[in-house]
Chain A
Amino acid sequence: MLYREAGDFKTSYTADNQTFPIQFDRVGYWALLAVAVLVVPFIITDYWASSFLVPFLIYAIAALGLNILTGYCGQVSLGTGGFMAVGAYASYKLMTAFPWMDMFTVTILSGFITAAVGAAFGLPSLRIKGFYLAVATLAAQFFLVWMFNKVGWFYNYSASGQINAPERSVFGIIVTGPNTQAWAQYLFCLIFVIALAWIARNLTRGTVGRQWMAIRDMDIAAEIIGVNPLRAKLTAFAVSSFFVGISGALFFTVYLGAVEVGEVYGITKSFLVLFMIIIGGLGSIFGSFAGAAFLVLLPVVLKLVGVDLLGWPTDIVAHLNLVIVGALIIFFLVVEPHGLAQLWRLTKEKLRLWPFPH
Chain B
Amino acid sequence: MPDQLLFAIEVSLNGLMAGVMYALVALGFVLIFKASGIFNYAQGVMALFAAMTLVGIQNGQVPFAHLINATFGTKIHHFGWEVPALAAILLTVVIMAAFAWAVNRYIFRHLVNQEPIILFMATIGLAYFLEGVADLMWGSEIKKLDVGLPQGINDWIDTTTFDAFGYGFFIDNLDIVATIIAALLVLGLVAFSQYTKEGRALRAVADDHQAALSVGISLNFIWVLVWSIAGFVALVAGIMWGTKSGVQFSLSLIALKALPVLMLGGFTSIPGAIVGGLIIGVGEKLFEFAIGAPYLGGATENWFAYVLALIFLVFRPQGLFGEKIIERV
Apart from A138-B256, A325-B128, 12 more pairs, CB < 8 Å: A131-B120, A132-B263, A142-B306, A150-B298, A150-B299, A319-B132, A326-B128, A326-B131, A329-B125, A333-B111, A334-B107, A337-B118
* Cβ 8 A contact of B306, one of A138, A218, A220: A138
Does A33 touch B at the CB level, under 8 Å?
Answer: no
Find out whether the CB atom of B125 lies under 8 angstroms from the CB atom of A333. Answer: yes
Chain B 243-274, CB-CB to A under 8 Å as 1, else 0, gives 00000000000001001101100010000000
**Closest CB-CB distance, A314 to chain B, in whole Å?**
11
Q: List 13 A-B contacts (CB under 8 A).
A: A130-B117, A136-B313, A138-B256, A138-B259, A143-B306, A221-B329, A275-B125, A312-B70, A313-B70, A315-B135, A323-B128, A333-B121, A334-B111
A201 within 8 A of B: no
- Give complex CA distance A128, B309 in Å: 11
Considering the complex, which residues of chain A in the window 108-147 have a beta carbon less than 8 Å from any beta carbon of chain B?
124, 127-132, 134-136, 138-139, 141-143, 145-146
0 or 1 for each of B2-34: is its CB under 8 Å from A? (1 = yes): 000000000000000000000000000000000
Interface membership of chain A positions 322-349, coded 1 if the CB is closer than 8 angstroms to chain B and 0 otherwise: 1111111110011001000000000000
- The answer to the question of B87 belonging to the interface, with a C-beta cut-off of 8 Å to chain A, is no
> Cβ of B135: which chain A residues have Cβ within 8 Å of it?
315, 319, 322
Q: Name B residues whose Cβ lies closer than 8 Å to a Cβ of A.
A: 39, 66-67, 70-71, 107, 110-111, 114, 116-118, 120-122, 124-133, 135-136, 140, 256, 259-260, 262-263, 267, 296-300, 302-303, 306-307, 309-310, 313-314, 317, 327-329
Task: Note all chain B residues with C-beta closer than 8 A to A337.
Answer: 114, 118
Contact across chains for A319 and B126 when beta carbons are under 8 A apart: no
Chain A's closest residue to B67 (CB) is A316
Q: How far is the CA of A312 from the CA of B67 in the complex (A)?
A: 8
Interface pair A218/B125, CB less than 8 Å apart: no
State the CA gap A330–B328 with chains docked (Å): 31
Chain A interface SS verdict (over half): helix
CA distance A325 to B127 in the complex (A): 10
Nearest A residue to B306 via CB reads A139
Q: Contacts A131-B267, A132-B263, A334-B110: A322 and B317 contacting too (C-beta < 8 A)?
A: no
A131 CB contact (under 8 Å) in B39, B107, B128: B39
Q: A267-B256, A316-B136 known; A136 and B329 CB under 8 Å?
A: no
Q: With both chains docked as a complex, state the minimum distance between the C-beta of B118 and any C-beta of chain A, in angstroms.
A: 6
Q: Which of A143, A315, A327 contacts B307 (CB 8 A)?
A: A143
* The one of B66, B126, B263, B300 that contacts A146, using a Cβ cutoff of 8 Å: B300
Residues of A within 8 A of B307 (CB): 139, 143
CA–CA, A124 to B315, complex, Å?
Answer: 10
User: Would you give the shortest CB distance from B68 to chain A, in whole angstroms?
Assistant: 11
Contacts of B260 in A (CB 8 A): 135, 138
Assembled-state Cα–Cα distance A339/B125 (Å): 14
- Give, as a whole number of angstroms, the nearest-CB distance from B149 to chain A: 29
Cα-based distance from A134 to B263 in the complex (angstroms): 11
- Known contacts A124-B314, A139-B309, A139-B310: does B124 contact A322 (CB below 8 Å)? no
A271 at the interface (CB under 8 A from B): yes
CB distance from A337 to the nearest CB of B (A): 6
User: When the two chains form their complex, are residues B116 and A136 in contact, meaning their CB atoms are under 8 A apart?
Assistant: no
